Amino acid sequence: MKGIEKGLHNLLVRCARIDSQNRVLIVHEEEKHGFCDFNAVVQAKRYCDKLGADAGLIEIPFITETPVISPSIRLQMEEADIVIFFVRLVVQMRFRDFPNCSKTIMNCASTTSRLESSFGYANYEKYCHLEFHLNGVFSNAKEIRVTCQRGTDFAGPGDRMMEKEGDVSIIRYPISIKGFSGKIAVPGFLAGRNHVCCV
């Protein structure tokens, strides 16, 4: 596999585990907002078709404050087996009235360049395996402190790394954790409010 196909295989097969029995809905923003590009969205749809899945596309507006999902779009999400978001809506609505989807994936590799990069095609299953072992190490630590040259300096109890949030049905990256305090420098990245995002 070359180029974007490596990233799409990682997202759609290793992560989403899509097969011919699945009904997939790909939700995306308008390209002009910069979070995704339409080529990546269309290529994702074509790859789903190649896997034999029943895949559809839907565009939703990007609303900076208090986004609302229309009843018709909500119904489409809830009827799908897998919903893949090329949109920031999951981050905005994760603690509010989010549709009850069977499997929801917040895709941060949402542009062609990201899917073609190591960020997009680094083996998802191996990262899950690595995360499992790192969580075991972190959970045995009395305290974890993270610093960087940009000015990040935060700390918290190690056992909080193993706590699960209520919306565990949403598969996403980075991973958010609570119970830490300090400051974090994330130039050019999206960080959830009241959370520390660890990469």
Distances (CA, A) of 115 to 8, 71, 85, 90, 130: 7, 31, 14, 19, 21
20-34, 97-111, 113-127: range with lowest mean pLDDT: 97-111
Higher pLDDT, residue 191 or 10? 10
Q: For the structural domain made of 4-121, what CATH number should be given?
A: 3.40.50
pLDDT at 172: 55
- The verdict on pTM exceeding 0.75 is no
| Domain edges within the chain | 4-121, 124-198
Q: Give the span between the Cα atoms of 192 and 183, in whole angstroms.
A: 13
